[in-house]
Amino acid sequence: MIVVDALYVALAEQLDAELVTLDQEQLVRGTAVISTRQP
């Protein structure tokens, strides 16, 4: 995961929000921290 991707995950966590992304790595790895889904 690159720095920008990690920033999006961290921001979603801080805002207690779900991350909506097309990035497969964010979808898979982000679920360890937050809820993710595809649009």
Given the structure tokens 């809820």, which residue do they identify? 35
pLDDT of residue 2: 86
- Give the whole-angstrom CA distance, residue 7 versus residue 31: 14
User: Taking the CA atoms of the chain, what radius of gyration do you get in angstroms?
Assistant: 9
1-39 pLDDT tens trace:
689 999 999 999 999 999 999 999 999 999 999 999 999
For residue 8, what are its two tokens? 């999006």
> Does the predicted TM-score (pTM) go above 0.95?
no
Question: Which residue pairs from 5-9 have beta carbons closer than 8 angstroms and sit at least 24 positions apart in sequence?
Answer: 9/33, 9/34
* Residue 5 host element (H or E): helix 3-14
pLDDT of residue 29: 93
